[in-house]
Homo-oligomer: A and B are copies of this chain.
Amino acid sequence: MIKPRSRRGGGRPTISDVARRAGVGAITVSRALREPERVSEELRRQIQAAVNELGYVPDPNARALASARAEVFGVLVPSLTNNVFAEVVRGIYDSLSASPFRIQLGNTHYSGLEEERLLQLFGSQRPAALIVAGIDQTPPSRKLLESAGCPVVQVMETGPDPVDMMVGFSHLDGGRMATEHLIEAGYRRIGFIGARMDPRSQRRLAGYRAAMEDAGLFDPRLVTTTPVLSSVSLGREMLRDALAKVPTLDGVFCNNDDIALGVLFECHRASIAVPKTIGIVGFNDLDMMQVAFPSITSIRTHRYEIGRRAVAMALAAIAGNRPEQRIVDLGFELKRRESTAR
């Protein structure tokens, strides 16, 4: 019986086509492409020529199937549009673009259950590494991560008990520093305004609370939170709520910069002088913070660098030399600006 040239695939050149053209065995082509130093100079050139002539591109699916390892990094973030995670993803993407690894993106929508589902799904692909945002995985998720059989990097936060590796910073310390800055600047009735109270925001709040208690200024009525997704317009509304509760409010530490911007706009609208009557501090230090009028004090975090670092650590682990420092704290910086310059 005559075997058809190719039953299904669209006639795209395969590794055997290249091998035939170059007059070598298929396996040698495979080697020339993956471990060039193990193939003689001459064959390597011949093979490269055949590859170019045919326009051969290896099929990543066949490769993954044969080697039981996909050249894929699984990346889990809670939001695609939140600029903070977009920056992390950009860092990961840029660091990976020169490598053969692709990115498999998952959006958990801040849901533990969705995270479990995605982890389950990603596991079936035998990824080369997993990068997940946060350190508060549910027990099933944690188990999945531990049995993933690949390097795992938890990003955005640091904590005492990594699944494998970690890159981030302390949100509690960030919240504390922001609050202490307000206190030092002379503010006393300092509110906390936070939307989308995910675990990281909770820790910023804990930092706020610690600082306030240390200064003997804490009052639960100063805290205004909501589970609603954060946005600039929400910041505006929340300042109104906070002022309704505590008319003597003279400062706010915002959960993030979007909220801070909304707060600033509401101050303008209500003719509340910033920083004179109310001081404002944000979190993350988006570009617009330094441009706002008045410019807004914020905690600068290193999102892009976190993404890059996570990839670097994962790649090192894949290459066999696992970094000895498993927890990397990239810290943060307080950017003092006009909004707290009383």
Contact = CB atoms under 8 A, between A and B. Distances in A.
Interface of A: 8-10, 12, 57-62, 64-65, 67-68, 70, 80-81, 83, 86-87, 89-90, 93, 97, 102-105, 107, 120-121, 123-126, 149, 231-233, 235-236, 258, 261-262, 265-266, 268-269, 287-288, 290-293
A223 B61 CA distance: 50
The 5 closest A-B pairs by CB, nearest first: A57-B124, A268-B293, A232-B288, A61-B64, A8-B68
A124 B58 contact: yes
A85 B120 CA distance: 28
13 contacts: A9-B68, A57-B121, A60-B61, A61-B70, A62-B65, A93-B105, A105-B105, A232-B288, A236-B291, A258-B288, A265-B292, A265-B293, A266-B293
Contacts of A261: 288, 291
Contacts of A262: 288, 291
B64 A80 contact: no
A107 B90 contact: yes
Contacts of A287: 231-233
Copy tally for this chain in the complex stands at: 2
Given A59-B125, A65-B65, 15 more contacts: A57-B124, A58-B124, A59-B126, A61-B70, A62-B65, A80-B86, A81-B87, A90-B107, A97-B107, A102-B104, A105-B105, A265-B291, A266-B291, A266-B293, A268-B293
Contacts of A235: 291
Nearest to A237: B291
A80 B89 contact: yes
Nearest to A264: B293
Contacts of A70: 61
A98 to B, nearest CB: 12
Given A10-B149, A80-B86, A125 B265 contact: no
A288 to B, nearest CB: 4
Given A86-B86, A265-B291, A290-B233, A107 B93 contact: yes
A69 to B, nearest CB: 9
Contacts of A268: 293
A67 to B, nearest CB: 8
Nearest to A81: B86
A126 B10 contact: yes
Contacts of A97: 107
A321 to B, nearest CB: 22
A243 to B, nearest CB: 16
A59 to B, nearest CB: 6
B232 A291 contact: yes
A2 B89 CA distance: 47
B93 A125 contact: no
Contacts of A90: 80-81, 107
